Structure 1
Amino acid sequence: MELTDTINQVVNLTKDEKLSIEKYFTVKTLPKGGLWIKEGQYCNHIAFIKKGICRIFYNDQDGNEISCFFMPENNFISSYTSFLTLTPTKENIEAVEDLEMLVINREDLEKLSKEVPKVQIWRRVIAENLFILLERRISMLQSKTAQERYENLIKENGDILLKVPLQYTASFLGVTPQHLSRLRKNSVK
């Protein structure tokens, strides 16, 4: 699935609108392990992941990396709080695999929104979906056991688990790698 096909799922785009959208995005590649956005930077871009998986993480006060989200291809990614508030980001966005992204900066997104007004609806839907994603993440961490979190992750994103290192999965679930090993053994039974 491509960029305009994904946007077209939210707003019905004409052929001309699709062409207008595509001209504002540029291709960016990032090798596995590379950081697209680093804590303390200002995020001025939104990217569509064409190929690969990103990990969004932050460092806690002890310097431990805490994985917040994994974002596979055909999704949009940004440090949205930084993007929206023009403040330094507290998170990092890393390539778990080699990445190919289509990127648009804030200024071009504003121009595109004027040129193709339907883009405003798409932007609102992205913000709404992000809110839902965050709410589900908080609820999962607060109301489910580690075993339930692991089983839910397998059910909803089992394909990502095969591509993401175990220590990232463990930090996403809020457990140690050793505890994750026990959870994996328990789910096999």
Structure 2
Amino acid sequence: MNALFNCISQYHPISIPAWEVLSEALTQVELPKNSFLVREGMVCNNLYFLERGCLRGYYNNQDGKEVTYWFGFENNFITSFYSFISRKPGIENIQVLEDSTLWGISFETLNQLFDQHHDLERLVRIINEQYYIRLEERLMAMQFKTARERYEQLLGTSPHILQRIPLGQIASYLGISQETLSRIRSQV
């Protein structure tokens, strides 16, 4: 849980009493490789902090093809944001790519803590803002950058990704075929 405290401190400091109640409210979750944290059609009831491991978020398109749109690594906050916030069933899957350790808190508990500790409410607002910024950056990259530029950006921001993520999922994330990814990799 030290990793979570250190990560939280980088976003926004919280009071000792807020940290104590948050610590008591968190539940440790251990998930094996290839299991699912969230499946499409379900309401995501928890916000998670990924302490160890790797996950991916993906959709199934109309042809049944998986479209990966994010990867989560250590010290990331993980949830199906649409489902978690709207309280509606989501259309995404969150798959565990490596044996993982997460810390989770339910929507209801988190909102109860917001009423008691406004610094926690501010912390989660900042986490949501950071998520939105990453989402917009991804949208801009998909709209205005070439496949090669997207690949180079990915290597610049997450160089470890090639060691941890299968190439087919990286290609899906970049919006290209695996063959195109191989061609780009041979040129870079």
**TM-score, normalization: structure 1?**
0.95
* Counterpart mapping for 1:1-189 below 5 A: 2-187=3-188
Q: Which amino acid aligns with 2:175?
A: G
Q: CA deviation at 1:70?
A: 0.5
Cα deviation, residue 47, structure 1: 0.3
**How much has 1:160 moved relative to structure 2?**
2.1
In the alignment, structure 2 segments of 5+ residues that lack a partner are none
Q: Cα offset for 1:161?
A: 2.3
Three-state SS of the structure 2 residue aligned to 1:129 is helix
Q: What is the Cα deviation at residue 13 of structure 1? A: 2.4
1:52-104 CA-to-partner distances (Å, cap 9, x unmatched) read 01101001100110110011011101001111111110111011111100000
Tell me the C-alpha RMSD between the 2 structures. 1.1
Q: What is the aligned residue count?
A: 187
Q: Name which of structure 1's ranges 90-99 and 7-16 shifts more when overlaid on structure 2.
A: 7-16
Q: Contact between 2:18 and 2:120, CA under 8 Å: does it hold in 1?
A: no
Q: Which amino acid aligns with 1:114?
A: D
Take 2:68 and 2:49, find their aligned partners in 1: how far apart are those partners?
20
The alignment's TM-score, normalised by the length of structure 2, stands at: 0.95
* Structure 1, unaligned runs of 5 or more: none
The CA distance in 2 between the partners of 1:105 and 1:122, in whole Å, is 16
The answer to whether the 8 Å contact 1:4/1:22 transfers is no
Q: Percent same amino acid among aligned pairs? A: 36
Q: What's the offset of the Cα at 1:111? A: 1.9
Q: Secondary structure at the match of 2:105?
A: strand
